[in-house]
Amino acid sequence: MNPIRQQTGRNCVSISWNRPSLPLSLFLLLSAIWMLLLAGCQHAKPEPEQMPEPALARYEFKEMHMGTDVRMVLYATDSLIAADAADAAYQRIADLEEILSDYIDKSEINRLSRTSGSGRTVRVSEPLYRVLKRAGEISERTGGAFDLTVGPFVELWRISRRIGELVPEEEVREAARSVGYRNIRFDEGCRCVELLESGMKLDAGGIGKGFASDEALAVLKKHGITSALVASAGDIAVGEAPPGRAGWEVGLNIVNDEGERVEQTVTLTNAAISTSGDLFQFLLIDGVRYSHIVNPRTGYGITRQGFVTVIAPDATTADGYASAFSVLGPEKTDQLTEVLDTIDYYFILAMDDGYSVSRSDGFAHLLGE
């Protein structure tokens, strides 16, 4: 039988036979020739073309959560992917608000506070446990300048701000019995917490927004969105740089060494920035200017007017330390950041004759100084 020839590709031929009736030696020879032709066809196959990466477009979203506008900017291949990812991230923030808000009566953190002094060990959710542990670490590092158990002081200070005068000193002394981060006992084995003193009230206001920003960024990443920004009031978390850019440019309103208010930008990737303080807003009581930020060691709003901006690897860290640095002041902040080498700060302090400005070397470098 004659072989059947089929053109299969550039310079390549497929050869087959009907039932062989040739001498065995000739059949084997033809088979060898067919194998060589087949090998040549394999080498002649064209290389698969590299598919171009899909273009990324910029999408922006805004929703109200935790008492403020939460803004997301992200890059995705299409609007449906962007919207689905943003919806999931906002849902995560809403879920965390139900856990961490002291304004929601039935929030998990308020339910935990109501067990204080009862001797009960309470199993808590994984997010709340993580926040409590991170808060405790920052409290230890800052000598209590940050303290999640500051709630009793915060409640009294809200009253003082509302009525425009300080509450009686004995009430502050009584509240102090229930304040102290060392009065939280942890059990890693069961993810359990016990609040040792009666009257304790936990307040995650100094760390919660930063934690929520980190969690939202993590949700976006699970949806394939790696280049994103999440901004909640003074807390901003960013991921990978936008396409074709060195990083995310974050604008700052700062005061320079000459006391002039100027606009500056810093470029960040996979980092966070947080600002805390009252430089231009304050409460005046009996001639003393008080901030809304309560000093956990005194029970009163801090009287130092200024603000601090902190850059850290994540928003939980940046938020917590910004709150602590506001209480510590620039000198102690500088001493602490010499040890915390992943944290940078920019501190502006209002003085009688102008402003005092200090910053870490790393922050100065980001500003191009």
Q: Which helix (H) or strand (E) holds 98?
A: helix 79-100
For residue 3, is pLDDT > 60? no
State the chain's mean pLDDT as an integer: 87
Predicted confidence at residue 193, as pLDDT, reads: 98
User: If you write DSSP's letter for every residue of 231-278 in order, what string do you get?
Assistant: EETTEEEE-SPPTTSSSEEEEEEEE-TTS-EEEEEEEESSEEEEEEE-
Percent of the chain at pLDDT above 90? 70
Predicted confidence at residue 248, as pLDDT, reads: 98
At which residue do the structure tokens 């390549």 appear? 12
Predicted confidence at residue 40, as pLDDT, reads: 43
End-to-end CA distance of the chain: 87
**Integer Cα distance of 182 and 174 in angstroms:** 18
Contacts of 68 (CB under 8 A, 6+ apart): 209, 232, 233
**Integer Cα distance of 55 and 272 in angstroms:** 26
**Integer Cα distance of 16 and 3 in angstroms:** 6
Is 86 exposed, middle or buried (CB count within 10 Å of its CB: 0-12, 13-18, 19+)?
buried
User: If you write DSSP's letter for every residue of 302-351 in order, what string do you get?
Assistant: ----EEEEEEESSHHHHHHHHHHHHHH-HHHHHHHHTT-TT-EEEEEEEE
* pLDDT tens for each residue of 204-225: 999 999 999 999 999 999 999 9
Q: Using DSSP, state whether 120 is helix, strand or coil.
A: coil
Q: Which tokens is 234 given?
A: 């003074």
* pLDDT tens for each residue of 140-181: 999 999 999 999 999 999 999 889 899 999 999 999 999 999
Predicted confidence at residue 52, as pLDDT, reads: 66
Q: Domains in the chain, ordered, with CATH?
A: 4-44 (no CATH), 239-369 (3.10.520.10)
Predicted confidence at residue 292, as pLDDT, reads: 85
Predicted confidence at residue 355, as pLDDT, reads: 85
**Integer Cα distance of 199 and 231 in angstroms:** 34
Predicted confidence at residue 281, as pLDDT, reads: 63
Cβ neighbours around 364 below 10 Å, total: 13
pTM recorded for the entire structure:
0.83
* pLDDT tens for each residue of 26-82: 433 444 433 333 334 444 455 556 666 778 999 999 999 999 999 999 999 999 999
Phi/psi at 39 (nearest 5 deg)?
A: -60, -40
Q: Which tokens is 55 given?
A: 């273009």
**Integer Cα distance of 238 and 234 in angstroms:** 13
Sign (positive or negative) of CA dihedral 325, 331, 336, 337: positive
Phi/psi at 212 (nearest 5 deg)?
A: -65, -35
181, 297 contact by CB (below 8 A): no
Could you tell me the CA-to-CA distances from 191 to 2, 11, 173 in Å, in that order?
79, 69, 32
Q: Which residues of 226-238 are buried (b: 16+ CB within 10 A; e: fewer)?
A: ebbbbbbbbbbbb
- In eight-state DSSP terms, residue 301 is B
Predicted confidence at residue 272, as pLDDT, reads: 98
